[in-house]
Amino acid sequence: YRGCRSGQSRRRWRPTPVLHPVGNGAAVIVGNRPSREAPRPCSGSSLLRVHVDRHSTSRGSDVVFGCLNIRSVANKLDDLLEVRRDQKIDVLFLVETWHDSDSVALRRLRVDGFQVVDRPRPRSRADTLATNHGGVAAVAIAGVRLTRLDIGVKPATFELLCVRVASGTSSLVVAIVYRPGSEAVTLAFYAELADVLDRLATLEDPVQLVGDDNVHLERPADHATREFTDVLAAHGLVSCVSAATHDDGG
């Protein structure tokens, strides 16, 4: 009989060897394996269990967005992470990040498990250590996927970063906009903004516009405010800003 291995509790008897004489008094063993059993009919379900990756499953809750004009992410990274934790923010949209492509702060966020999609303000000179003002970025926790979108336009009057945000089976497109407040609001700004929204309107996903456009929406009668809200309305969008968003009001 066969020995008991790997903790097997029962022993299986080996069948008698089959001998084949070769004519000189010797014999060759031609087989002593157990006969194969006929396949048993399937008694259970024929469905296979499919492994689903953890990151592709639904989070089962709403995704919380936050948008900040941070004025240098490098100087406020710890404070930013504290706000994100306290407010339970899943996706952060940042403007005026003041960063370059080799930003240590954004590298730290990636090391900590965040997904980061960013666009630093292009420099006119590479051989300078001056602060690179401007810059936009999107930061998401694990489980929320960010994908950069190229809509084929690079506005001159504002900085733009378009990303697709996906969680579970839901997704939407977010356009992050920063228009420097040091520059006057011109007709070119509205024309370029309308062009961006025209391109985003061709996508199937819902669209959100976030950022800092430096338009005083608290002044409904202001000419710039009327022009801005008219552009939004022409593309089926409405402003969700109903309270002051600046520490000096406005």
| pLDDT given for residue 4 in this prediction | 58
Locate 205 and state its tokens.
């996903």
Hey, how many other C-beta atoms are within 10 angstroms of the C-beta on 139? Answer: 26
| pLDDT given for residue 9 in this prediction | 56
Hey, how many other C-beta atoms are within 10 angstroms of the C-beta on 236? Answer: 9
Are 183 and 219 within 8 A, CB to CB?
no
The model carries a pTM of 0.74
Of 102-106, 225-229, 241-245, the least confident: 241-245
Tell which wins on pLDDT, 35 or 19: 19
Single-letter code of the amino acid located at 29: I
Sign of the dihedral through C-alpha 80, 85, 89, 90:
positive
How confident is the model over 38-53, as a mean pLDDT? Answer: 59
Q: How is the chain split among helix, strand and coil, in percent rounded to 5?
A: 20, 25, 60
| pLDDT given for residue 49 in this prediction | 66
Strand extents, DSSP E, the chain? 18-21, 27-31, 65-69, 91-95, 115-119, 136-140, 145-149, 159-167, 170-178, 207-212
| pLDDT given for residue 77 in this prediction | 96
Are 146 and 138 within 8 A, CB to CB?
yes
Contact partners, residue 208, CB within 8 Å, separation at least 6: 65, 172, 173, 174, 175
